[in-house]
């Protein structure tokens, strides 16, 4: 589990590079609404993730939670097909999505699937949902990766080739997913992610 958290530093670099313009806007306070959302979501994720980490570090839950995430996305796809949305304030949405991201510290919970599910409660633009989901990942991935590194740096320093691979795979995956998100409606988008969760769960069995 700790090795997997460390490898996410590779995907973090991919997120920083791919969404460079978004990070620039946030850094220069040009998108205060998104900045506020990310701060709230990150704080909630950090609290939930920290509290859960010590409890689940030696627990392997695996396929069951991936199946659960897949069903959640399947239900999401259905509600968006019926054009049903919840009227919820942006700050509360940030709390909900931050909570779901924090739960991703549990083995088997897909961070992307969970945050997409949470964001889709109010939003229905696949590109916007993916962008926010990946921007959200950066602070928590950086924090968890550094925490793991400082606990026991020596074995992880030898894993730099895997870190490099995770960067390139992450960058390619981002380009593919963002391109797909611009060409399909949210129903198909959620359905695809649901199927990916199911496939991942079957592979773990």
By three-state DSSP, how is residue 89 classified?
coil
In this structure, what token pair is assigned to residue 170?
A: 């992450």
Which residues, 6 or more positions from 106, have their beta carbon under 8 angstroms from its beta carbon?
Answer: 52, 56, 59, 61, 65
Neighbour count for residue 202 (Cβ, 10 Å): 11
Digit-coded pLDDT (tens) for 75-127: 878 777 777 667 788 999 999 999 988 887 776 677 888 888 888 888 878 88
Percent of the chain with pLDDT over 90: 22
* Residues 145-162, mean pLDDT to the nearest whole number: 69
Tokens, residue 1: 């589990």
**What whole-number distance in Å separates Cα of residue 137 and Cα of residue 173?**
15
CA atoms of 52 and 38, how far apart (whole Å): 21
Residue bearing the bigger pLDDT, 55 or 20: 20
Q: How many CB atoms lie within 10 A of CB 54?
A: 9
Do residues 6 and 159 make contact, with C-beta atoms less than 8 angstroms apart? yes
Does residue 132 or residue 53 have the better pLDDT?
132
- Residue that wins the pLDDT comparison between 4 and 110: 110
Does this model's pTM top 0.75? yes
Q: In which domain, by residue range, is 17 found? A: 2-204
pLDDT band at 132 (very low <50, low <70, confident <90, very high): very high
104-108, 121-125, 154-158, 164-168: segment of lowest average pLDDT: 154-158
Looking at the structure of the chain, the number of domains it has is 1
Contacts of 10 (CB under 8 A, 6+ apart): 162, 163, 164, 165, 166, 167, 169, 170
Q: Which is nearest to 2 in space by CA: 51, 53, 52, 43? A: 53
- Which positions ≥6 away from 27 have C-beta within 8 Å? none
**What DSSP designation does 105 have?**
T
Among 202, 198, 138, residue whose Cα is nearest residue 174: 138
% of the chain beyond a pLDDT of 70? 81
Q: What is d(CA 8, CA 130) in angstroms, rounded to the nearest whole number?
A: 17
The pLDDT tens digits for 19-50 are: 999 999 999 999 999 999 999 999 999 888 87
Q: pLDDT-based confidence at 4, cuts 50/70/90?
A: low
Whether the pLDDT of residue 59 is over 60: the answer is: no
For residues 2 and 151, is the Cβ–Cβ distance under 8 A? yes
Residue 146's pLDDT is 76
204: confidence class by pLDDT, cuts 50, 70, 90: low
């Amino acid at each position: 589990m700790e090795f997997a958290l460390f490898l996410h530093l590779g995907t973090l670099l991919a997120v920083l590079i791919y969404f460079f313009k978004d990070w620039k806007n946030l850094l220069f306070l040009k998108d205060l609404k998104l900045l506020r959302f990310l701060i709230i979501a990150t704080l909630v994720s950090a609290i939930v993730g920290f509290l859960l980490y010590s409890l689940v570090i030696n627990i392997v839950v695996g396929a069951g939670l991936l199946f659960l995430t897949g069903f959640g996305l399947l239900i999401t796809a259905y509600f968006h097909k019926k054009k049903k949305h919840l009227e919820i304030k942006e700050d509360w949405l940030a709390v909900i999505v931050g909570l779901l991201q924090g739960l991703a510290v549990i083995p088997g919970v897909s961070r992307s699937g969970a945050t997409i599910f949470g964001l889709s409660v109010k939003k229905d633009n696949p590109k916007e949902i993916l962008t926010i989901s990946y921007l959200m990942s950066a602070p928590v991935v950086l924090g968890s990766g550094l925490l793991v590194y400082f606990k026991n740096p020596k074995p992880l320093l030898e894993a730099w080739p895997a870190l490099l691979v995770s960067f390139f795979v992450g960058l390619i995956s981002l380009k593919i997913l963002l391109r797909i998100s611009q060409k399909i409606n949210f129903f198909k988008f959620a359905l695809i992610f649901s199927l990916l969760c199911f496939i991942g769960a079957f592979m773990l069995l």
